[in-house]
Structure 1
Amino acid sequence: MSGTIALTRRSGFQLRPRPYRVWIDGVAVGRLPQNGAAEFAVDSGVHLVELSLDGMYSKKVSVEVREGGTRRLHCGAHGPLAFSAFGLLLPGLAIRLTLTH
């Protein structure tokens, strides 16, 4: 009874090209490098996915994974302002995470 959560990260503007930390259901499960991809096996059901880097984070995205299925998400920065002092004031705006499939 498992499926996969697959993440991709393409660079655009990247002030901080280090890997994002990947969280699934509040547990750190791995890292996602710049211009990279990562897959994580999960039980079927609903999961919360979030990314973080240096105290900044994405909004939590709820995904439903069916048995044997794959849910795909894409991430990137919200732009140059996200990693400036503005990003420190509103850390949840720094990383964009969207469900693609």
Structure 2
Amino acid sequence: MSGTITLTRRSGFQLRPRAYKVWIDGISVGRLAQNGAAEFAVDPGVHLVELSLDGMYSKKVQVEVREGATRRLHCGANGPLAFSAFGLLLPGLAIKLTLTH
């Protein structure tokens, strides 16, 4: 049996409303649209989740998933400057990803 990682994304301030690329354990597993949600089945254990878009990315979030359980993360832009020149200088600060449950 597997567990689930669920991601949600609110619109907020977005200069780039395209879908974020979702990475789990360094593997591209799908996309997450603006105002969207996505679910990914994973084996039980510890996983690293990260999002990216145009060379910008979130910090990697470590998530422990138990068999049959769902872990939820939420993401969005890390403020109005995230996708400006400031975001290009510090690409790891552009996307905010947080574990909610």
Counterpart amino acid of residue 54 in structure 2? D
What is the CA–CA distance in structure 1 between the aligned matches of 2:84 and 2:14, rounded to whole Å? 12
- Across the aligned residues of Structure 1 and Structure 2, the Cα RMSD in angstroms comes to 0.5
Whether 2:57 is the aligned partner of 1:57: answer yes
Runs of 4+ in structure 1 deviating by more than 4 angstroms, as ranges, are: none
| Percent pairwise identity | 89
1:85-100 aligned at under 5 Å gives the runs 85-100=85-100
TM-score after normalising by structure 2: 0.99
Shift of 1:30: 0.1
Count of matched residue pairs: 101
- For structure 1, list consecutive stretches of 5 or more residues without a partner in the other structure: none
Shift of 1:42: 0.2
Q: Deviation per CA, 1:33-90, whole angstroms, max 9, x where unpaired?
A: 0000000000000000000000000000000000000000000001121111110010
Residue equivalent to 2:25 = 25
- For structure 2, list consecutive stretches of 5 or more residues without a partner in the other structure: none
